[in-house]
Every structure is written in structure tokens, then in C-alpha cells.
């Protein structure tokens, strides 16, 4: 069972689609966990499209139990690496913009 307030805590829940993206598990895996009583869920719908909302902590425990801790470490590592690379790309783009602006300002200041 979930802790009190866990369903409302930021980042504690995720959708079945997010679980597939972050942990590489499919809907069948999630449904097996629900039927086994290992995963709690809540139904949700966005713009008429239904989805399952799961508790991240329970899903991670279930993944460790069924697929192993190594699988969880690899998938979370890949997910975190993807986020880090994206952030680095954004920062590199911003740095390039700032360097261009710096050059423009220096050129304008050096004009007689």
C-alpha cells in the first residue's frame, strides 16, 4: 500500500506511457503487476484518452523483483543520460548565442 499522500507528491506518480519510456516496460508488464497486487493504479484521462497512473516507487520495486536490479540501473541510467545530453545541448546552444552576442558588442565598442 502507498504511503499517505504519496499520490499527491510531485514526481511520485507516472503514467503507463511514461513508464514505458523511462523504464522500458510495456502495458502487459504493468497489468501483470496490477493483477499480482504489486502495483496500485488510478485511472486517468487526458482529452478523452485513458491512461493508468502508477506510483514510481512501487513500479521500481516491482521491476527489481521481476527483472532485477541491474535492469533498473541500466534503464534509469540511460534515461538520466538522455536528460543530461539534452541539457548539455541546450547549454551549448545558449553558449553559442552568448558568444555571438559578445563578439557583436566587442565589435561595436571597438569602432572609432
Based on the domain organization, do 1 and 50 belong to the same domain?
yes
Place of cell 548565442: 97
Q: Are residues 9 and 62 in the same domain?
A: yes
**Do 12 and 62 fall within a single domain?**
yes
Q: What is the mean pLDDT of the chain?
A: 92
Q: How far apart are CA 9 and CA 13, in angstroms?
A: 8
State the pTM of this model.
Answer: 0.73
Question: How many domains, in total, are found in the chain?
Answer: 2
Residues 39 and 54 in one domain: yes
Q: Are 42 and 62 members of one domain? A: yes
Using H for helix, E for strand and C for coil, what is the string for 52-86? Answer: EEEEHHHHHHHHHHHHCHHHHHHHHHHHHHHHHHH
Q: Identify the three-state secondary structure at position 15.
A: strand
Q: Are residues 63 and 81 in the same domain?
A: no
Domain of residue 76, residue span: 70-112
Task: Point out which residues pair with 45 in neighbouring strands.
Answer: 50
99 and 84 fall within a common domain: yes
Are 59 and 98 part of one and the same domain? no
Claim to verify: residue 40 and residue 90 sit in the same structural domain: no
pLDDT (tens digit per residue) in 56-111: 999 999 999 999 999 999 998 998 999 999 999 999 999 999 999 999 999 999 88
Amino acid at each position: 500500500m502507498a504511503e499517505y499522500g504519496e499520490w499527491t507528491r510531485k514526481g511520485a506518480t507516472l503514467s503507463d506511457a511514461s513508464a514505458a519510456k523511462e523504464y522500458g516496460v510495456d502495458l502487459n508488464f504493468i497489468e501483470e503487476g496490477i493483477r499480482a497486487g504489486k502495483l496500485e493504479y488510478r485511472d486517468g484521462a487526458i482529452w478523452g484518452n485513458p491512461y493508468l497512473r502508477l506510483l514510481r516507487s512501487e513500479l521500481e520495486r516491482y521491476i527489481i523483483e521481476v527483472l532485477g536490479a541491474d535492469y533498473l540501473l541500466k534503464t534509469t541510467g540511460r534515461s538520466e543520460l538522455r536528460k543530461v545530453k539534452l541539457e548539455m545541448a541546450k547549454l551549448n546552444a545558449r553558449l553559442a548565442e552568448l558568444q555571438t552576442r559578445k563578439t557583436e558588442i566587442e565589435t561595436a565598442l571597438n569602432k572609432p
